A and B are shown apart, each in its own frame.
Chain A
Amino acid sequence: MRTVAVVGASLAGLSAARSLRKQGYDGRLVVIGDELHRPYDRPPLSKEFLAGSLAEADLALEPDAEDLRAQWLLGVRAVGLDGPRRAVRLADGSEVRADGVVIATGAAARTLPGTDGLAGVHTLRTLDDARALRDELSLGGRLVVIGGGFIGAEVASTAYALGLDVTVVEAAPTPLAGPLGETMGKVVSALHADHGVRLLCGVGVKGLSGESRVEAVLLEDGRSVPADIVVVGVGARPCVAWLAGSGIELDDGVKCGADGRTSLAGVVAVGDCASWYDPRAGLHRRVEHWTGARERPDAAVTALLAGGAVEPSAPRPPYFWSDQYGVKIQFAGHAAGADSVTIEEGARDDRNVLAVYRRSGHPVAVLGMNQPRLFMRWRKQLAAAA
């Protein structure tokens, strides 16, 4: 292999570039990213960076001395992939021909239809988003967060600490029931009420009111919640539109084998844009967490360099963390499919629990709230059993 192109210059792309060099790839390496910034870390964008306690320089993912001998094409978007020639077409009309391609274009925040151009309305995915939101939060006022998932909850928690008046609106009856299940979704989302943040559940959003600037969030039950700032945290969609016509199979993201290989030889996909096959569950899933974007490129690069001559090892159970209202939340495994959840340590009222999810008696997932030590041990056990 003489040239490898990595498309997407964030955590998954950088990790892939690193893996390539670590695994002995010595050829030309081109990293293409549509943001102007060097790779930076997203988790602090809803936490310390938004709160103002972490500077922009601290977000950098690369240590000062790192040199991957790569050619960085930043601020330029990939608009197409010519499958048979493995050529990445760029928005400026040029193209990069490569023997191997790593797709790492991540995901973009979903928006609410009809809210474009209304001042005071934000999504949070990029550094630029976070700067804009941070500037507005610093003015104070009433914040309404649409969506009680992890990003929404973290923004609510950060804004609460900054002294804003915060309301969270969630369409489902229990926030986080998808990733955590009903029982623990209730325990974790109770953190809002503990701190006097209003949580309105089981009600959808009909729209926003305001002429040039948002004034209120209109709910489907007829209520109207006044707002100076609105954050829309309703999930993300994979950035794969640019692959249309490339011959690569897409479903919810790039459809991949258990080692990141796509339907096109010499092309792998990693991170939030990739839907990897999970041999244990017998299905494809897209995992949108930091640790997967950091670790899975190692396996994908191995597959890419070996041309598919190695047997993939099953990916480790997914792991993610969240920080809300000073509580460290950690989760590993899959809650769906568990038939019991038991609290093994701590008390739910103190929000310091270690909860284990089981199916037919076997642990399938574990949740920790302020239990880093125990959680770590359970996570290792889960990975070993898998």
Chain B
Amino acid sequence: MMIPACRLVDLPRGEAYRLDIDPPVSVFHTDDGEVFAIDDTCTHQDASLADGWLEGCEVECPLHASKFDLRTGAVDAPPAKRPVRTHEVHVEDGMIYVRLSLDAPNLPPCVAARLAGGPA
């Protein structure tokens, strides 16, 4: 599925845009001008990676500082152990589109339980 996110001019370098779908997805515009999309929820706990710290192609989680590679989703060190899902990005006529991955998301246990309808 292709989803329009926001206009490229509305997303300055070094910033992130959070797409409020379920689960949410974040689009990052790096200082080098590249655009990436990954799942917004950290795989460790319920934190929004759009609130994190963007440096190069990595975003640092705002809660416990695990870093995720925007290109691959890979995580560097605990407390998070699993990668985040990455999504394909297209820019057309100045609009950023995200093609959602078909893989299952790696949501943290508390969020996964909530989505499954279990206790939060």
Measured CB to CB, the residues of A under 8 A from B are: 11, 15, 18, 41, 43, 48, 53-55, 58, 60-63, 290-291, 294, 319, 321, 328, 330, 372-373, 375-377, 380
Contact = CB atoms under 8 A, between A and B. Distances in A.
Contacts of A55: 109
B113 A372 contact: no
B65 interface: yes
Nearest to B83: A63
Interface residues of B, number: 20
B47 A53 contact: no
Question: Which of B47, B62, B64, B65 lies at the interface centre, i.e. has the most chain A CB atoms within 10 A of its CB?
Answer: B62
B64 A53 contact: no
A164 B82 CA distance: 34
B77 interface: yes
Interface stretch (B1-9, B33-41, B48-56, B91-99): B48-56
A102 B42 CA distance: 31
A376 B109 contact: no
Contacts of A328: 63
Given A53-B119, A372-B48, A376-B53, A63 B81 contact: yes
B78 A372 contact: no
B120 interface: yes
Given A41-B78, A372-B48, A58 B109 contact: yes
Contacts, number: 51
Given A41-B78, A53-B113, A53-B120, A291 B63 contact: no
A294 B47 contact: no
Question: Which of B78, B110, B120 lies at the interface centre, i.e. has the most chain A CB atoms within 10 A of its CB?
Answer: B78
> Which DSSP category, helix, strand, loop or mixed, fits chain A's interface?
helix
A330 B45 CA distance: 15
Contacts of A54: 109-110
B79 interface: yes
Contacts of A291: 64-65
B110 A48 contact: yes
Contacts of B62: 372-373, 375-376
Interface in B83-120: 109-110, 113, 119-120
Contacts of B53: 376-377, 380
Given A290-B64, A330-B63, A372 B120 contact: no
B64 A372 contact: no
Given A53-B110, A53-B119, A372 B77 contact: no
B63 A321 contact: yes
A53 B120 CA distance: 7
A339 B60 CA distance: 31
B63 A372 contact: yes
